[in-house]
Amino acid sequence: MELPFAESYKIKMVEPIQRSHRHEREQWIKEAHYNLFNLRSDQVFVDLLTDSGTGAMSDRQWSEMMLGDESYAGASSYYKMKNAIADITGFEFFLPTHQGRAAENVLFSAMVKEGDLVPGNSHFDTTKGHIEFRKATAVDCTIDEAFDTTLDHPFKGNIDLEKLENVFKKYPVEKIPMVIITITCNTSGGQPVSMQNIREVSALSHRYGVKVVFDSARFAENAYFIKKREPAYAEISIRKIVREMFSYGDAMTMSSKKDAIVNMGGFIGFREEELFQKASVFNIMFEGFITYGGMSGRDMNALAQGLYEGTEFDYLETRISQVAYLGKLLKDAGVPVQYPFGGHAIFVDAKRFLPHLPKEQYIAQSLAVELYLEGGVRGVEIGTIMADRDPVTRENRYPNLEMVRLAIPRRTYTNNHMAYVAASLINVWERRSEIRTGFRIVKEAPILRHFTVGLEKI
Ligand SMILES: *Cc1c(COP(=O)(O)O)cnc(C)c1O
């Protein structure tokens, strides 16, 4: 018999979680104004809101915490992080930041100005937020295949070179400070970008004199997919693939709460000293001195260790197999999910799940609320609420895809939890025709409204 795959770790410490009753959840979600961000974590049984900062650190990472050097300047922890970043990514210059959006804030302060255009593959919400906050425009150049959830395409995160070149041709290069390649591409369903696409985007951008910046939160998962799906890389190690990917970029921003498997932390990597120097000024203003930038020494140590663990093949195989396990349970039951399955999450296609709901009633949000009511499972809407209003017209933006994202924290839940989640969602699927109405917004913030929005049942 062929030996089955099993987790590349065993469990040393556990954290209790509680089940609840449907009538309790009905009360709680109402009190939360039907916004899953407003729930208390103890009102949730399986929390798939995000994979950000919610993973389990290893015994080695916890040991590193004890060795943290909390010196204000020049801490050994800074050098540990610097060496790990140079080793794993190849970027010689770096700035620590407290998380990914802080890295964006610092880098964009140095690079993006009013009226600029920033093309890329379906920019992440905070990335887009930081671009639009500066009165610049994010231009989505993702390939069209990404927006058909039924289509089997190995690299749905890819950038369409023609769309990208059209931006370069249409606008003066001084208005295009960078191209952002998000690896993996969260907004299109945790979908990877191929090495070939990265290489071509980089060559094209550099030909026009435009810098390439990686939004790298899930770079290791992207490398895993390249190894699995791009034939030339089948025999190449994850670490080598990672080094090659980053070799095509001029800088990177990182939310270490994802593939560096820490609860908090981030950084910016730079190829050239000049841009590093320019960004350092903003780092000191917004984050902290350049050798800690919003992080404690112990966190920098855990992050450095996490970069190594997050780029181990067996770890990645464990993680991505678990995501695929959930995906397969759903797909086999006929639940419409983005296919192929993403690296960190399963994306449920809410428009195909609830085709009778009008888009004005927030289809994906309605489904996310139903899933919570059914099993105490918390996912997140990636749809009209998150897409926010157009900054100029203030009209709702209706994205191509209305999704509920079920993000799997790293090394946290077992496959039994995945089976529980699948059963909950399949129950909703079976009674989908009874879900007749959605929601209306009663309260919203001017930017990134999804975090604080208040809703009312129609
Ligand atoms: C999480 C994430 C960010 C923002 O990072 P935070 O640590 O949440 O501030 C930016 N880009 C991508 C692709 C992400 O996944």
- What local confidence, expressed as pLDDT, does residue 147 receive? 85
Query: What's the mean per-residue pLDDT of the chain?
Result: 96
> 186 CA distance to ligand 1 centroid (A)?
9
CA–CA separation, 417 vs 311, rounded Å?
25
Q: What pLDDT score was predicted for residue 62?
A: 98
Quickly state the pLDDT bin for 125 (edges 50, 70, 90): confident
Q: What is the mean pLDDT of residues 38-60?
A: 97
As a whole number, mean pLDDT of residues 345-374 equals: 96
**Ligand 1 touching residue 221 (CB < 6 A):** no
Answer whether residue 288 is part of any domain: yes
* Nearest protein CA to atom 14 of ligand 1, as residue: 217
If you take atom 3 of ligand 1, which residue's CA is the nearest one?
A: 100
352: domain CATH number is 3.90.1150.10
Residues 39 and 63 in one domain: no
Of 125, 175, 278, 324, which one is the catalytic site residue? Answer: 125
Residue 158 near ligand 1, beta carbon < 6 Å: no
Cβ 294 under 6 angstroms from ligand 1 = no
What integer pLDDT is reported at residue 331 of this predicted model? 97
Question: In the chain, how many domains are there?
Answer: 2
Please give the average per-residue pLDDT across 185-190, as a whole number: 78
Whether residue 148 is found in the same domain as residue 204: yes
Same domain, 271 and 386: no
Q: How many angstroms does the Cα of residue 248 sit away from the middle of ligand 1?
A: 21
Give the pLDDT confidence score for residue 345 in this predicted structure. 96
Domain end, chosen from 310, 335, 350, is at: 310
Q: Which domain holds residue 256?
A: 59-310
Q: What is residue 387's predicted lDDT score, i.e. its pLDDT?
A: 86
- Domain-ending residue, one of 293, 310, 327: 310
Q: What is the pLDDT of residues 216-253, one digit of tens each?
A: 999 999 999 999 999 999 999 999 999 999 999 999 99
- In the predicted model, what is the mean pLDDT of residues 209-213? 98
Shared domain for 273 and 384, answered yes or no, is no
Q: Is the CB of 296 under 6 A from ligand 1?
A: no
| Same domain assignment for residues 263 and 393 | no
Q: Is residue 7 part of a domain?
A: no
The two beta strands, 454-457 and 439-443, are antiparallel
Residue 17 within any structural domain of the chain: no
What's the whole-number mean pLDDT along residues 286-312? 97
CA of 253 to the centre of ligand 1 (A): 9
| Residues 85 and 212 both lie in one domain | yes
Tell me the CATH number at 269: 3.40.640.10
Tell the residue nearest (CA) to atom 7 of ligand 1: 100
Helices (H) and strands (E) in the chain, counts: 16, 14
Which candidate in 47, 215, 259, 299 is catalytic? 215
Burial class from Cβ neighbours inside 10 Å (0-12, 13-18, 19+) for residue 69 reads middle
Pocket test for ligand 1, best of 255, 303, 344 (most atoms within 8 A of CB): 255
186 shares a domain with 127: yes
| One domain for residues 326 and 383 | yes
Q: Is the confidence at residue 208, as pLDDT, over 90?
A: yes
Residues 324 and 268 in one domain: no
The CB of 99 under 6 Å from ligand 1? The reply is yes
Task: Write down the catalytic residue from 34, 45, 124, 225.
Answer: 124
Q: Which atom of ligand 1 is nearest to the CA of 185?
A: 13
Beta bridge partners of 252: 214, 269
Burial 231-251 (b: 16+ CB within 10 A, else e): eebeebebbebbbbbbebbbb
Using the 3D structure, point to which of 249, 281, 310 is the last residue of a domain. Answer: 310
One domain, residues 190 and 124: yes
Name residue, tokens 């990514």: 89
The burial class, CB within 10 Å (0-12 / 13-18 / 19+), for 436 is exposed
Ligand 1 center–CA 145 separation, angstroms? 24
Share of the chain above pLDDT 70, in %: 100
With a 6 Å cutoff on the Cβ, whether 127 touches ligand 1 is: yes
